[in-house]
Structure 1
Amino acid sequence: MALINTIREKSGWAVGAIIIGLLLFMLGGDFLYGRSSIFGKNDTSVGEVAGEKVEYDDFNNTLEQAKQQFIQQQQRQPDDQAMGYLRDQAWNQTLYRIAFQKEFDKLGLKVSDEELTDMVQGTNVHPSIRQAFTDPKTGQFDVLKVKEYLRNLDKMDPQAQAAFANFEANLRPERLGTKYNNLLKMSTYVTSAEAKRYNEGQAAQASLRYLFVPYFSLSDSSVKVSNEQLQAYIDKNKGRYKVEDGRSIEYVTIPVTASVEDSTTVRKTVDELAARFATAPVDSAFVKLNSDNPTRPAFLSPADMPEKLRAQLPLQLGKVYGPYAENGTYSLYKVSSQKAGAQAAARASHILIKPEGTTPEADAAAKAKATEVLNKIKGGADFAAMARQYGTDGTTATGGDLGWFQQGRMVPEFEKAVFAAASPGLLPAPVKTSFGYHIIKITAPKTTQTYEVATVQKGIQPTDATRDAAYQKAQELKGAATDLASFRAAVAKDKSLQKMEAKGLGRGDQAVNNIQNARSIVRWAYGVNPEGSPTEVGDVSRVFDDVGDQYVIAVLTGERTKGTADVASVKPEVTALVRNELKAEQIISKLNAAKGSSLEQIAQAYGNGAQVKTADNVVLGQGMIPGLGSEPVAVGKAFGLKAGQKSKAFAGEQGVLIVEAVSTTPAPATADVKAAKQQLTAQRVARADGLIYEAIKQHANVKDNRTKFF
């Protein structure tokens, strides 16, 4: 621990135990990461960064540190999903360490021991240390506590020493990174001309008229788009279609779900438990021994009970209720005692009539409407039907039923009316609250009665026979599918199977659509499989049995390499864009041929689809036309026209437009652009860290080979 020795020589101070949990911060983050093709079979490198290979052992050491930090912070072992995140974090740390260090060396950036000392106890104390040794009551940082603990660090457990050693090891690269980023951030500059133009863009306004023909006015079927046109569009806009490596698959899931026979078997077990539960001397012990999800017996008000148990109110002491089947679980409930609770509960339904405005007239109209509906109910109309017809909140679908609720959960006026009722029935007059007027029906009047309920639950799980049957079905599909064509044919033949598709799977993906922890499927798609052979398009996978309660069979349908997207992978998106370009050509041609001097005359000559509208208060810098949306080209053209002057027809974001300037209000002259400069500079600086990282990564020629190992 070089830093510890240096610090001791200088001042003999220490760091407190609390620091361990707070200093696990270094160099992680939600950065993006590079992906590339895998190396040879005998290569032990996990990847390559800036020409330097990342060996498996080195990467695994970084990963193990991240794992231990996770365990210390979360007090649990990481699951598969967390491990995926930790691998990404370890990879980002590795990328940062190698790629950025080369940049530091080019510039000759260094961090001295004096600087490191300053980060722990000087005038520029590291934020994590400051947080760890700041008194929460006074808000004061106490450097004496730092000194006190470092003297005793070598007497502490190895875990504490290792935690600080890890923090120490990362102080220098973190400070180097800060220096490097600050050098680039300090170069951020906004000219006076930029600031002036920004101010003008935010203040200048215009009123305009426009003729608009939306693209959707022409049917898609009337415009044919060829693959050559799609490719030409991609070639012209390569910057928008940069992609990383990707794989596309089609797959089938065969779920392992409990059968009717399985449910019947569990039901017999639960019925036997019910008989024993009724005579059990100690309910808590019985629950602990027999429930899949044992919980201590608890006093429940009607508002807190499961619906099926609540339907049995009032409950009898000593009685076992159930079994009730819900969400794949059988539940038994036993009532052992009862008592008055601290809060009352009640059940009610309501019909809310909201005023259509804030005026006294709107309030009076809402009250009259509520009274009218109430009188209909008094005359025999069904409350639930009236709620569905006249209600204005989310309870209309349930006939106004609010269910059971305790005091304190509703607005005061509503709650006072409900809990004042002594018996079920319709309240005689509407009740006004901040939401409007409520017609209220008391379903169950207030009660403070609570019951102590013990719960036994048994999940309806598939038996081995059911699991074997599902596996056999998966194996039969695997046997019938030898390539993409036979896979599709076999799936189409079995009506119980549904084929799904996942496009553009990345090397680091942990899930396949809604299949979580599907790392094995992703690795197979990238050519890493138990057989050792590379996966090629058209190959059918093995039966995956490690993705939860289901079996999965997949076929690789496409490969995408890092670079520019191919037509197939972005066809729907690009087709829509190219189709709009072709529609724009047709619309512009027809508008140019339309005779007329005014927008209305041109629109009439064009025919169906053309519309003329007016837009006021259009702001130059926002690029929005009220009522139409984002149309920056149209806004720009409007500000370039004189009053009464029309533009030519042009393609916009949502259709073809002709704009006509009505009036323009230029921005007031101002010589003070300081505030605008500060605002624009802050915006650019805020984006700098991410942009710097991406630029370094792009030039580091990153090759990610982790799928070979993880």
Structure 2
Amino acid sequence: MALITKIREKSGLAAAAIAISLILFLVGSDIFQGKSSFFGTNSQEVGEIAGEKIMIADFQKKVEEATANYTAQTGKGPSEQEQQMIREQVWNQLVLDIAYKKEFDALGLQVSDEELVDMVQGNNIHPSVRQQFTNPQTGQFDKTYVIQFLKNLKTMPAQQQQAWANFEKSLVQDRIRSKYENIMRLSNFVTSNEAQKEYQTQTAKFNARLVHVPFYSINDSTIKVENSQLEEYLAKHKEQYKGYNSRSIQYVTFPVIPTKQDTVEFYNQIKKLAKDLAVAPNDSAFAMLNSDVRTPYLVSYSDIPEAVKTQLGTFQVGGIYGPFKNGLTYSIYKYGGVKKDTLFTIRASHILISPANKSDSAKAQAKTRAEGILAQIKGGANFETLAQMNGMDGTAQNGGDLGYFKNNGGMVKQFEKAVFGFSGSGLLPSIVETDFGYHIVKVTDPKTNISYRLAAINKNIAPSQSTLDRVYAQADNFSNANGTLGAFEAALKKDKSLIMMRADKIAENATSINTLANAREIVRWAFDDNTAVGDGSHKVFEQENQYIVAYLTAKSDKDKVKVDDYRDEITSLVKNQLKGEKIKAKMSGLSGTLEQIAQKYGAGAIVENVSNISLSNGVLNTAGPDATALGRISGMKVGKRSKAFVGDNGVYIIEKTGATPAPALADYSVFKNQIQSMTSQRTSYYINEAIKENANIVDRRNKFY
């Protein structure tokens, strides 16, 4: 029955595992950025996939079912972030069920009942079934467990029967997807000419001398770019720049900080709680009920805050101590004495010196170095400084601090034995050898097996309602007085205490903005069809400890690519074009040797030699991997010089000084297989791109969530 219980608990998880593997098949690009506005559509449509409209009521029902399954499996409701993930999984499943299924059906792909049986209990068990039905004694898949489970399936609750049905559905989807992908993969073919070309690209070598004038040799500030030039560039390269839906905003925050009066009232509350804690018949329960941050009643020394440790020696059983301040949290404690544990806790630092390899000579060198460092510390050198200078693991930057740890096998045996065998605190007299190397060790807090009974009330100081109301009124008045972006910018000039924040290119499914963690309401406002560029939010958004007023500064649309969507990138490219034309014009009028041309050109011109480079991995020294220049060199005849031309990273004049052709091969199958393998690895991505493009996916979830 233990196995049945396990399957009942995990059958839903197994189905989720298959679903996730299918979802991963979708990942790799902007599949969920193809969203549009509500122009001419039903406001109850959450999206459209392959011509099939998805209504919000149907989508939400599936989300609620998935949420219920999540809650049943985890024993708790999902957080906001987890709820977002659940909605994403439901949407991904719809893409699989609709867009992919149409492609599968068009080819007549299916999984027969016999094939499903074979995957579950036959000769070709699916990996997810193997994972779920493992013999706990052997750790191996056991088919008898599957058969036993299926025999008992009809006696299980309806919910578990449905979970198994969903699991089998996921197995079928995964198998059909594999068949489809294999068909596409087997359709790839590499010709002998393609293989020969790849061989020559990798093997043929050439040498050259060149004059290179990089674009960066001309200062950006000297090149003026007109907006019309950017528009022209975008029009010529529109296939390279895909549209996307985004919004940019500016906003101002009004932080809510407790006032002096709030602090006084809070401190009076703490004092009253301290009096009540002192007489509470069940002090630990009282502390738990009245704490904003709950902490265990029985705590080890390592878990006690540093401020409390310094006074712990003065605590008396039954006494009330505090308040102790940690940020905006104040804590009071009722001390209930100590309790001895079976395990000891200790805190230590170390300096690890690892040998370069496993040879005896390397070990001897590491040991000698470690002993030398130990001698320096014994002579008065600072342990932490030497740890930072010499330590060979991640603790070095913290002065070798390992923190607190117990004698429960968390450290390697030799190290644990040495440290817990040491009495008191201080430097261990000898180095400690382990499989990792040689350790110089200092105990910073001596071992102890004492736990402390501390009933702690931890309260976060918070602003009063009157303070909240006052700051909200301030933010609301600002919003009403400055309803547009222009008015907002004018207000910023008048009031220097206001701090403007900005967030550019926010995605429509974003849940956070900069450091604002739960900013979904702001994102939805920014993407609302009625919000225009220049509009203020006309409302105050509430975040933890602050109020926010926002203004929309820009928007992009996937169906309408604008220069502003890629302004910085395109401006840089157009500037390089203009620089290239300017450099080329100057170089074209020069003659002589390459050195003479560089000298005549002046500052910025570089003469370089490159040797034994190929088309596939050639690097032109300071110019880097310039594909245009490499192609020119490859196509030139030995002894010839090119005219000045613009490459990817600057302007060049090149002389080809030598070449080593790729030797002829009788068989190019190695290179054919190489290309075939690379193409096969990208098959999933190509399939995904083709299916999603053909499905014309429209995602409007951001309108509802």
Tell me the CA shift for residue 607 of structure 1.
2.1
Q: Letter of the aligned partner of 2:500 in structure 1?
A: K
Alignment-derived partner of residue 473 in structure 1:
474
1:464 aligns with 2:465: yes
Contact 1:207–1:661 (CA<8 Å) still a contact in 2?
A: yes
Alignment-derived partner of residue 265 in structure 2:
265
Alignment-derived partner of residue 149 in structure 1:
149
> Matches of 1:321 and 1:397 in 2, distance apart?
35
Tell me the CA shift for residue 370 of structure 1.
7.4
> Matches of 1:638 and 1:342 in 2, distance apart?
72
How has the CA–CA distance of structure 1 residues 432 and 649 changed in structure 2, closer, same or farther, with 3 Å as cutoff? farther
Which of 693, 697, 700 is 1:705 aligned to?
700
> Matches of 1:433 and 1:606 in 2, distance apart?
64
Structure 1 window deviating more from structure 2 (183-192 vs 639-648): it is 639-648
Query: CA-to-partner distance for each residue in 1:436-479, whole Å, 9 max, x for gaps?
Result: 99999x79574547451524321122221222122112211221
Tell me the CA shift for residue 392 of structure 1.
8.7
> Matches of 1:645 and 1:566 in 2, distance apart?
44
The total of aligned residue pairs comes to: 681
> Matches of 1:288 and 1:655 in 2, distance apart?
68
Tell me the CA shift for residue 219 of structure 1.
1.2
Structure 1 window deviating more from structure 2 (565-574 vs 42-51): it is 42-51
Query: CA-to-partner distance for each residue in 1:548-606, whole Å, 9 max, x for gaps?
Result: 443332222333222352111211121112112212222223333344313x3333222
1:553 aligns with 2:549: yes
The 5-angstrom pairing of residues 355-370 of structure 1 reads none
Tell me the CA shift for residue 159 of structure 1.
1.0
Contact 2:245–2:557 (CA<8 Å) still a contact in 1?
A: yes
SS of corresponding position for 2:78: coil
Which of 617, 630, 633 is 1:635 aligned to?
630
1:567 aligns with 2:563: yes
Alignment-derived partner of residue 513 in structure 1:
514
> Matches of 1:265 and 1:540 in 2, distance apart?
37
How has the CA–CA distance of structure 1 residues 103 and 482 changed in structure 2, closer, same or farther, with 3 Å as cutoff? same
> Matches of 2:677 and 2:175 in 1, distance apart?
22
Tell me the CA shift for residue 330 of structure 1.
1.4
Alignment-derived partner of residue 585 in structure 1:
581
Contact 2:388–2:397 (CA<8 Å) still a contact in 1?
A: no
Contact 1:508–1:707 (CA<8 Å) still a contact in 2?
A: yes
Tell me the CA shift for residue 385 of structure 1.
12
1:308 aligns with 2:300: no
Tell me the CA shift for residue 226 of structure 1.
0.9
Alignment-derived partner of residue 214 in structure 2:
214
> Matches of 2:117 and 2:437 in 1, distance apart?
65
> Matches of 1:420 and 1:118 in 2, distance apart?
58
Contact 2:373–2:386 (CA<8 Å) still a contact in 1?
A: no
> Matches of 2:244 and 2:166 in 1, distance apart?
33
Q: Letter of the aligned partner of 1:673 in structure 2?
A: Y
Query: CA-to-partner distance for each residue in 1:124-171, whole Å, 9 max, x for gaps?
Result: 444333432343554654445444433443322121122233345555
> Matches of 1:445 and 1:325 in 2, distance apart?
23
Alignment-derived partner of residue 525 in structure 2:
524
> Matches of 2:696 and 2:496 in 1, distance apart?
48
Tell me the CA shift for residue 321 of structure 1.
5.0
Structure 1 window deviating more from structure 2 (309-318 vs 158-167): it is 309-318
Q: Letter of the aligned partner of 2:686 in structure 1?
A: L
Contact 2:395–2:402 (CA<8 Å) still a contact in 1?
A: no
Alignment-derived partner of residue 539 in structure 1:
535
Alignment-derived partner of residue 11 in structure 2:
19
Tell me the CA shift for residue 668 of structure 1.
5.0
Tell me the CA shift for residue 221 of structure 1.
0.7
Alignment-derived partner of residue 8 in structure 1:
none
Instruction: Quote the RMSD (CA, aligned, Å).
Output: 4.6
How has the CA–CA distance of structure 1 residues 495 and 644 changed in structure 2, closer, same or farther, with 3 Å as cutoff? same
1:88 aligns with 2:88: yes
SS of corresponding position for 1:457: strand
Structure 1 window deviating more from structure 2 (579-588 vs 426-435): it is 426-435
Tell me the CA shift for residue 92 of structure 1.
2.8
Query: CA-to-partner distance for each residue in 1:325-349, whole Å, 9 max, x for gaps?
Result: 2232113355522759855645679
> Matches of 1:294 and 1:564 in 2, distance apart?
52
Alignment-derived partner of residue 294 in structure 1:
294
Query: CA-to-partner distance for each residue in 1:223-282, whole Å, 9 max, x for gaps?
Result: 011111111221122122102233333223333343444344333333444566567676
Tell me the CA shift for residue 633 of structure 1.
2.9
Structure 1 residue runs without a partner (length 5+) = 1-14, 529-533
SS of corresponding position for 2:682: helix
Tell me the CA shift for residue 315 of structure 1.
5.8
Q: Letter of the aligned partner of 2:128 in structure 1?
A: S
Q: Letter of the aligned partner of 1:463 in structure 2?
A: S
Alignment-derived partner of residue 485 in structure 1:
486
> Matches of 2:423 and 2:146 in 1, distance apart?
65
How has the CA–CA distance of structure 1 residues 611 and 331 changed in structure 2, closer, same or farther, with 3 Å as cutoff? farther
How has the CA–CA distance of structure 1 residues 672 and 255 changed in structure 2, closer, same or farther, with 3 Å as cutoff? farther
> Matches of 1:347 and 1:121 in 2, distance apart?
54
How has the CA–CA distance of structure 1 residues 602 and 155 changed in structure 2, closer, same or farther, with 3 Å as cutoff? same
Structure 1 window deviating more from structure 2 (447-456 vs 291-300): it is 447-456
> Matches of 2:177 and 2:217 in 1, distance apart?
54
> Matches of 1:22 and 1:194 in 2, distance apart?
44
> Matches of 2:502 and 2:122 in 1, distance apart?
58
Contact 2:590–2:597 (CA<8 Å) still a contact in 1?
A: yes
SS of corresponding position for 1:250: strand
Q: Letter of the aligned partner of 1:248 in structure 2?
A: S
> Matches of 1:191 and 1:299 in 2, distance apart?
71
How has the CA–CA distance of structure 1 residues 228 and 137 changed in structure 2, closer, same or farther, with 3 Å as cutoff? farther
Q: Letter of the aligned partner of 2:703 in structure 1?
A: K
> Matches of 2:366 and 2:532 in 1, distance apart?
70
Query: CA-to-partner distance for each residue in 1:160-218, whole Å, 9 max, x for gaps?
Result: 12223334555555544443333222211222332333344344455555443332222
> Matches of 2:347 and 2:105 in 1, distance apart?
72
1:246 aligns with 2:238: no
Tell me the CA shift for residue 424 of structure 1.
8.2
Query: CA-to-partner distance for each residue in 1:284-314, whole Å, 9 max, x for gaps?
Result: 334323332223233434x554332344475
How has the CA–CA distance of structure 1 residues 170 and 342 changed in structure 2, closer, same or farther, with 3 Å as cutoff? closer
Contact 1:649–1:656 (CA<8 Å) still a contact in 2?
A: yes
> Matches of 1:495 and 1:103 in 2, distance apart?
60
> Matches of 2:549 and 2:570 in 1, distance apart?
31
How has the CA–CA distance of structure 1 residues 16 and 421 changed in structure 2, closer, same or farther, with 3 Å as cutoff? closer
Tell me the CA shift for residue 16 of structure 1.
5.7
Alignment-derived partner of residue 3 in structure 2:
none
Alignment-derived partner of residue 223 in structure 2:
223
How has the CA–CA distance of structure 1 residues 50 and 432 changed in structure 2, closer, same or farther, with 3 Å as cutoff? closer
SS of corresponding position for 2:593: coil
SS of corresponding position for 1:242: coil
Q: Letter of the aligned partner of 1:506 in structure 2?
A: A
Q: Letter of the aligned partner of 2:566 in structure 1?
A: V
Q: Letter of the aligned partner of 1:608 in structure 2?
A: A
Q: Letter of the aligned partner of 2:230 in structure 1?
A: L
Alignment-derived partner of residue 5 in structure 1:
none
Query: CA-to-partner distance for each residue in 1:603-650, whole Å, 9 max, x for gaps?
Result: 322222233344556453224446654333333334444566554444
1:622 aligns with 2:617: yes
Contact 1:287–1:295 (CA<8 Å) still a contact in 2?
A: no
Tell me the CA shift for residue 53 of structure 1.
2.2
How has the CA–CA distance of structure 1 residues 225 and 112 changed in structure 2, closer, same or farther, with 3 Å as cutoff? same
Q: Letter of the aligned partner of 1:21 in structure 2?
A: L
How has the CA–CA distance of structure 1 residues 214 and 94 changed in structure 2, closer, same or farther, with 3 Å as cutoff? same
Q: Letter of the aligned partner of 1:674 in structure 2?
A: S
SS of corresponding position for 1:66: helix
Structure 1 window deviating more from structure 2 (512-521 vs 639-648): it is 639-648
> Matches of 2:211 and 2:367 in 1, distance apart?
44
Contact 1:214–1:656 (CA<8 Å) still a contact in 2?
A: yes
Calculate the TM-score normalised by the size of structure 1.
Answer: 0.80
Contact 2:110–2:176 (CA<8 Å) still a contact in 1?
A: yes
Q: Letter of the aligned partner of 2:12 in structure 1?
A: I
> Matches of 1:324 and 1:656 in 2, distance apart?
67
